[in-house]
Amino acid sequence: MPEPSFEITTRRQGAIAIIIIDNPPVNAMSPGVPGGIIAALEAANRDAGVQAIVLMGGGRGMIAGADIRYQGKAWPEGEKRLVDLIDHLDRNPKPVVAALGGAALGGGLEIAQACNYRLVGPQASLGQPEVKLGIPPGAGGTQRLPRLVGLEAASEMILSGRPAGAAEAVRIGLADRQLEGDFLEGAIAFATEIAGRSQHPRAGDRDVALPSPDFFKKLKEEMARKARGQTAPFAAIECLEAAVSLPFEEGLKREREIFERCAVSPEARALRHVFFAEKAASKIEGLPKGARPKPVSRVGVIGAGTMGRGITIALLDHGFEVWLAERNAEALAAGIARINEHYEAAEKKGRITAPEKAERLARLHPAVTFNELSGADLIIEAVFEEIDVKRAVFAELAGIARPDAILATNTSYLDVNRIAAAAPQRRDNILGMHFFSPANIMRLLEIVRADHSSPEALLTALDVGKRLGKTAVVARVCHGFIGNRMFEYYIREANFLVEEGATPAQVDKVLTRFGMAMGPFAVCDLAGLDIGWARRKALAPTRNLSERYSTLADRLCERGWFGQKTGKGFYLYEADQRKPLPNPDLDELISVSADESGIARRSITDDEILERCLYTLINEGANIIEEKIAQRASDVDVVWIHGYGFPRHRGGPMFWADDVGLDRILARIEQFNRTHDFWEPAPLLKRLAGSAQSFSSR
């Protein structure tokens, strides 16, 4: 592993030594950095003229955290570690002031906690996000933070991973002062102010008070509801209990034992994988070096329905000027009204202020003709999911949009190449931008690379996605792209299982117990069963009648049971309640559907449900990777984590498959292939399993 270049510099100003850590891009604690800081501290201690030390980061901030590349791996022999640096700071004879101008996360904040004082700039962000990587803080964070801010505030920060801003850090006692103006000069002035004091505070000298006798009991009950199978939050609670029950030094040892146990766990490996997978997803292979995104500030959105409104709100929330176009004046007025209602509700809940609401709505421009979009840098089409409708829109846009404008379709399934062919003179600037509903909340954005999409168009879509706070993944053109193509296999197998003897509640329970955010039938009820029904009816003329087909969902729709929107679907929903209740009329429909297919219903185990629902995902994911619909296997994981609620702590379906063992999965798929439809093993899966390789290498 190549070592990053870094520099630790020291300079004097009067009686103050300023040690600056410069390890771009985020001043991570890579090998060599802790030892370099220790050497600089020792030199400052030897200098008789130095009365206090300021420790700060160059570039973007203090220290963003430990170098995640080394988590769970061997540290270079002989190199000082983060814990060695923190131990040195605990014993340093001269006072040390941590100057936190930017991000101080994880190990960076643990370093700051071991200093005597902490100063923050207005842009500071202080946090212990380790649980998001499957570990508790391991360099004293669970022992020092409760001593600085109290057990309640420390527990919230550690278990949520949420960073505190500058004002909050001062308020809870994590920082001593917020500095305005020249940050370095302010830090030097503070260090000069405290240099002459006879004693300086250390976090380890304080005790931790238990807020209530049942504090940890309630904390564990809360985590049991939220964690959904994760172990790191409970490991962090175990460390926090040590902060209360053990002397400081013993608590540090206990924390380290727990940290090292977690660092090599499957959960930590999975979460590290996701961390790097998210970074890799934004990299598009094969683009020329000089390609750059086009600037985008004005965006047109066509369609004021659910998706168009969600996309519009996402754009308004992130500073874009938006023209919302809808030819039907009543539909446009209704769409604008719903957007206003959204911001009214957000203001009432305290999520935005009245001036913020007014500023966002001032950037919203209703448009009753497409001509009003002629000045847009980017136009996103979000009309009805029907190929001829979308082609007509793009054919019209070809004569209206600016020649250099990017044109994007929000299709979930359709052929983006066919849509682009409706505007052949524009095809270089046409691609897919598949937002997930609700578009202003869901983080996933599938960017669909059509055959003629230019590098500039792709990079522009990626840049807009980043500005919207989305996790963008690039896919090639096929029916359903990455996520929805796999979802069709997933939901089809779930329906088959119900026909064969399972219940929707049993299937959903198995999948949510595994860690899915929702079970497949609850998802369908939430999305609206009529959406899938419309797609199935459109595809019916080309369906192979010799293949197995479940009529169950169609039968629900024929009765007008579309899920939550009608109060009845696979489940019942009482007024103003989203909690599903059993649908007493469902059993009869299941029996009719099974009889029609000639299926004798049987008892189905939870293990079979899990295998059939997830292994079909993995099998189709392998086909998507081999066909190069996805650039890499980890992109499939990112799509399913951010778009479909696959448990992050399991790393995504393809990483999880590697963990289970591809040979084991292939053996079960071959068994299912002998007794069930649609289980032909993917060629890539067969090759990888046969050569003891993994998806992680793809």
Q: Which residue ranges form the domains of the chain, and what is each CATH number? A: 7-263 (3.90.226.10), 298-481 (3.40.50.720), 498-697 (1.10.1040.50)
Binned at pLDDT 50, 70 and 90, residue 160 comes out as very high
Q: Predicted confidence band at 285 (pLDDT cuts at 50, 70, 90)?
A: confident
- What does the buried/exposed string (b/e) look like for 54-91 if buried means 16 or more CB atoms within 10 Å of the residue's CB? bbbbbeebbbbbbbbebbbeeeeeeebbbbebbbbbbe
The mean pLDDT of 262-281, rounded to a whole number, is 94
Query: At 628, is the pLDDT very low, low, confident or very high (cuts 50, 70, 90)?
Result: very high
- Asked whether 520 and 643 are in contact (CB, 8 A), the reply is no
Please state the rounded mean pLDDT for residues 237-246: 96
For residue 372, indicate whether it is catalytic. Answer: no
pLDDT interval class at 535 (50, 70, 90): confident
130 among known catalytic residues: yes
Mean pLDDT across the stretch 660-687?
96
- Quick one: which of 586, 495, 504 has its CA closest to 549? 495
Q: Which of 505-514, 528-537, 642-651 has the lowest mean pLDDT?
A: 528-537
Strands 571-572 and 581-582: antiparallel
Q: Which residue has the tokens 């605990």?
A: 90
573-595: average pLDDT: 89
pLDDT of 76? 67
Question: What pLDDT is attached to residue 26?
Answer: 67
pLDDT number for residue 25:
67
Distance between CA 227 and CA 249 in Å, rounded? 29
pLDDT greater than 50 at residue 116: yes
pLDDT in tens, 340-357: 999 999 999 999 999 999
CA atoms within a 13 Å half-sphere pointing along the CA-CB vector of 498: 28
Q: In this model, does residue 216 exceed pLDDT 80?
A: yes
Q: How confident is the model at residue 1 (pLDDT cuts 50, 70, 90)?
A: very low
The answer to whether the CB of 98 falls within 8 A of the CB of 86 is no
Of residues 74 and 416, more confidently modeled:
416
pLDDT of residue 154 exceeding 50: yes
The neighbour count for residue 265, using CB atoms within 10 Å, is: 17
75 pLDDT higher than 90: no
**Between 569 and 6, where is the model more confident?**
569
Higher pLDDT, 389 or 79: 389
Name the pLDDT band for 402 (thresholds 50, 70, 90): very high
Residue 186: which of 117, 272, 259 has the closest Cα?
A: 117
Average pLDDT over residues 398-426: 96
CB 200 within 8 A of CB 230: no
Catalytic residue (one of 3, 7, 42, 130): 130
Give the confidence band of 73 by pLDDT, cuts at 50, 70, 90.
low
Judged against a pLDDT cut of 60, whether residue 60 lies above it is answered with no
pLDDT at position 163 over 90:
yes
pLDDT(14) > 80: yes
The residue written with tokens 């200093």 in the block is: 115
pLDDT value at residue 24: 67
Kindly report which listed range (28-37, 45-54, 123-132, 300-309) carries the lowest average pLDDT score: 28-37
DSSP string, 8-23: EEEEEETTEEEEEEE-
Nearest CA to 378 among 464, 455, 480, 267?
Answer: 464
pLDDT > 70: percent of the chain:
96
For residue 175, which of 157, 198, 196, 199 has the smallest C-alpha distance?
157
Q: What is the mean pLDDT of the chain?
A: 92
Indicate the DSSP class of residue 363. T
* Amino acid at residue number 441: I
Q: What is the pLDDT of residue 251?
A: 96
pLDDT value for 110: 95
HSE-up of 198 (CA within 13 Å, CB side)? Answer: 0
Predicted confidence at residue 495, as pLDDT, reads: 95
pLDDT digits (tens, 9 = 90+) for 309-328: 999 999 999 999 999 999 99
**Would you say residue 2 has pLDDT above 50?**
no
Catalytic residue among 77, 79, 110, 347: 110
Handedness of CA 367, 369, 374, 380 (dihedral sign): positive
What confidence score (pLDDT) does residue 537 get? 87
pLDDT of residue 212: 94
681 falls in which pLDDT band (50, 70, 90)? very high
pLDDT band at 81 (very low <50, low <70, confident <90, very high): confident
| pLDDT tens per residue, range 428-463 | 999 999 999 899 999 999 999 999 999 999 999 999
- Asked whether residue 61 carries a pLDDT value surpassing 90, the answer given is no
Predicted confidence at residue 532, as pLDDT, reads: 87
